[in-house]
Amino acid sequence: MLETFRRDHLPAGEVEGEDASETVVFWRSLRFTQQEDDGGRFIVPSVTRQAWFKRLYLPAYSVAEAARYAQTSTQNVAYWHYRGGKRGPVLPGRERGKPLSYLELVEIAFVATFRRLNVSLQRIRKAHEYLAQTFDFEYPFAQLRLKTEGHHVLLELQQVEQDADLGNLILADTHGQVGWKKLVGERFAEFDYEDGLALVWHLAGRESPVKIDPRISFGAPTVRGIPTWAVKGRWVAGESIEDIEEDFGLEEHDIKAGLRFEEIEIAA
Range of the structural domain that residue 233 is part of: 210-261
Q: What CA–CA distance (Å, rounded) separates 249 from 223?
A: 11
Tally of domains within the chain: 3
Q: What CA–CA distance (Å, rounded) separates 42 from 32?
A: 10
| DSSP at 220 | -
CA 206 to chain centre: 16
In the prediction, which pLDDT does 50 show? 64
Question: Buried (b) or exposed (e) across 49-59, using 16+ Cβ within 10 A?
Answer: eeeebebbbee
Cα distances from 7 to residues 38, 141, 251, in angstroms, run 12, 30, 50
Q: What CA–CA distance (Å, rounded) separates 217 from 138?
A: 25
Establish if 202 belongs to a structural domain: no
Do 11 and 88 lie in one domain? The reply is no
Which residues fall within 8 angstroms of residue 31, CB to CB, at 6 or more apart?
24, 25, 136, 137
pTM score, two decimals? 0.79
Written in H, E and C, the secondary structure of 91-157 is CCCCCCCCCECHHHHHHHHHHHHHHHCCCCHHHHHHHHHHHHHHHCCCCHHHEHHHHHHHHHHHHHH
In the prediction, which pLDDT does 174 show? 52
Residue 90's CB is within 10 A of a number of other CB atoms, namely: 26
pLDDT values of the chain reduced to their tens digit, one per residue, 268 residues: 333 333 333 333 333 333 333 333 333 334 433 444 444 443 444 444 467 788 899 999 999 999 999 999 999 999 998 877 677 788 877 677 789 999 999 999 999 999 999 999 988 998 999 999 999 999 999 999 999 999 888 888 877 666 667 778 877 655 556 788 899 999 999 999 998 999 999 999 999 999 999 999 999 999 999 999 999 999 999 999 999 999 999 999 999 999 999 999 887 6
Establish if 198 belongs to a structural domain: no
Do 111 and 218 lie in one domain? The reply is no
Do 60 and 170 lie in one domain? The reply is yes
Q: What CA–CA distance (Å, rounded) separates 221 from 57?
A: 17
Do 23 and 61 lie in one domain? The reply is no
Do 159 and 119 lie in one domain? The reply is yes
In the prediction, which pLDDT does 49 show? 46
In the prediction, which pLDDT does 88 show? 78
Residue 267's CB is within 10 A of a number of other CB atoms, namely: 4
Establish if 266 belongs to a structural domain: no
